[in-house]
C-alpha cells in the first residue's frame, strides 16, 4: 500500500537495509555499538565526536543509503511545501 500510494503521488519507495544504521556515525562512517546509549548517539571516533539523537543519526544514514534524494527534487524538503497536499481525485 505504501508503494502504491507513493507512486500515485509521484514518489518512489527505496528499500534500505536498516541494520547498523543507529550504530554508524552519519558524519564520518565510524561504526561502534557503544556509540549508541539509549536515545543518545556519540561518535566514538575522537576525530569526529558528533553527538545527537540516535534516531536522527539513523535516519540520515538511511537517507544516505537510499541515494542522493529519493523524490528527485534535489535536497530533501528544500523545494517541498510544508503544507500537506490533498489526495488526488481517483
Is residue 81's pLDDT more than 80?
Answer: no
Give the model's pLDDT for residue 75: 41
Domain boundaries, the chain: 2-65
Q: What is the pLDDT of residues 33-69, one digit of tens each?
A: 889 888 999 999 889 989 999 999 999 988 888 874 4
- Grid cell, residue 50, equals 558528533
**Rounded to whole angstroms, what are the CA distances from 20 to 6, 14, 76, 77?**
26, 17, 22, 25
Three-state SS at 15: coil
Three-state SS at 49: coil
Nearest to 50 by CA among 60, 58, 42: 42
Residue with the bigger pLDDT between 83 and 67: it is 67
Residue with the bigger pLDDT between 43 and 19: it is 43
> Residue 82: what are its φ and ψ, rounded to 5°?
-75, -15
Amino acid at each position: 500500500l505504501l508503494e502504491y500510494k507513493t507512486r500515485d503521488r509521484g514518489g518512489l519507495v527505496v528499500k534500505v537495509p536498516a541494520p547498523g544504521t543507529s550504530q554508524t556515525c552519519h558524519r564520518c562512517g565510524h561504526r561502534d555499538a557503544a556509540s549508541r546509549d539509549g536515545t543518545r548517539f556519540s561518535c566514538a571516533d575522537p576525530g569526529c565526536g558528533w553527538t545527537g539523537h540516535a534516531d536522527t543519526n539513523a535516519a540520515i544514514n538511511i537517507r544516505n543509503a537510499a541515494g542522493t534524494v529519493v523524490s528527485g527534487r534535489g535536497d530533501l524538503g528544500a523545494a517541498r511545501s510544508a503544507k500537506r497536499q490533498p489526495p488526488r481525485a481517483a
